[in-house]
Amino acid sequence: MAIVRDIAVVLRRFEYSETSQVLVLFTRAHGKVRTLAKGMKRSTRQRFAAAVDVLDVGAVALLEQRSAADGLSTLTEWKQQRFCGGLRERLDRIHAGQYAAEVTAMLTEDWDAHPALFDALAELLSRLNDSMGVLDLVVGYQCTLLSEVGLWPRFDACVLCGRRSELTTFSALEGGAVCRHCEPSQIEKRSVPGAVIASLAAWSAAAGPPFDRPPDVRAFDVLDYHLSHAAGRPPSTGRLLRAHFEHR
Ligand SMILES: [Zn+2]
């Protein structure tokens, strides 16, 4: 069995037994890896175990066990690299981080590496730690995630007829914008203002900061709708995060 060394963000954490937990890690060079962390539970007085939590970033060593029946590799080392204290001081930032972690776990496969996506997630957590606008950061991350996993929709023209104007609707199934003329034939759809579709059409992975204006919350909604459709369920943290945007 190979020892894998990498840097990782903790995406999810489950209790496994009295003394162990399952950590779903997103590693930079190996993608998502599910690991069993023995003796790493927090708040056990008897041992000085490392307390590892969702959104923590650390250097890891793990015993690779891809073929194990439970799919769990064994985490043998965890060295905390960054503690995002500022992130945990405000509920909207916590929910934004949790949402990013959840959608990353939903849309990536085990052992499928996405170094650029890892960097985007680490950058997001770092920026959430400061005072950046949460909606901008989350929409930027949704864009990067969908692009990285090959699910970036077409926003510049109608996916059905190629028309570049009168784009009024979005279809997750068709993978993009649908014009007013094609819309009646679509069953799965949601209406999206043309200005929101245009702002998303202007986004590209290479262009750096995605928007020249703060994105509309409806950009968050259509991207959340699309990734929920792709994953087969909405992220459970989506509603919590969305509630912060209502009060803007
Ligand atoms: Zn059309």
Confidence band for 202, pLDDT divided at 50, 70 and 90: confident
Per-residue pLDDT at 227: 97
Distance 176 CA to ligand 1 centre (A): 11
Place of tokens 């779903």: 24
| Distance of CA 213 from the midpoint of ligand 1 (Å) | 27
89 pLDDT band, cuts 50/70/90, is confident
Question: How many A from CA of 194 to the centre of ligand 1?
Answer: 13
The pLDDT tens digits for 17-29 are 888 899 999 999 9
Q: Ligand 1 centre from 184 Cα, in Å?
A: 10
Numbered ranges of CATH 1.20.1440.120 in the chain:
115-246
Structure tokens at 114: 């996405």
Give the global pTM: 0.91
Confidence of residue 45 (pLDDT cuts 50, 70, 90): very low
Instruction: Assign a CATH topology to domain 3-83.
Output: OB fold (Dihydrolipoamide Acetyltransferase, E2P) (2.40.50)
CA–CA distance, 213 with 215 (Å, rounded to integer): 6
The residues, ordered by sequence, that sit 6+ positions from 67 with a Cβ below 8 Å of its Cβ are none
Q: Where in the chain is the domain with CATH 2.40.50.140?
A: 3-83
Give the tens place of pLDDT for each residue, 231-244.
Answer: 999 999 999 999 99
At residue 46 the predicted structure's pLDDT band, cuts being 50, 70 and 90, is very low
d(CA 243, CA 95): 10
How many angstroms is it from 103 CA to the middle of ligand 1? 30
Are 237 and 215 in contact by the 8 Å Cβ rule? The answer is no
Q: Indicate the fold that domain 115-246 takes in CATH.
A: de novo design (two linked rop proteins) (1.20.1440)
Helix and strand numbers (H, E) in the chain are: 6, 8
Distance 66 CA to ligand 1 centre (A): 45
CA 164–ligand 1 middle distance (angstroms): 8
CA–CA dist 14, 150 (Å, integer): 29
Work out the average pLDDT over 209-225. Answer: 81
Helix, strand, coil abundance in the chain, percent, nearest 5: 35, 25, 40
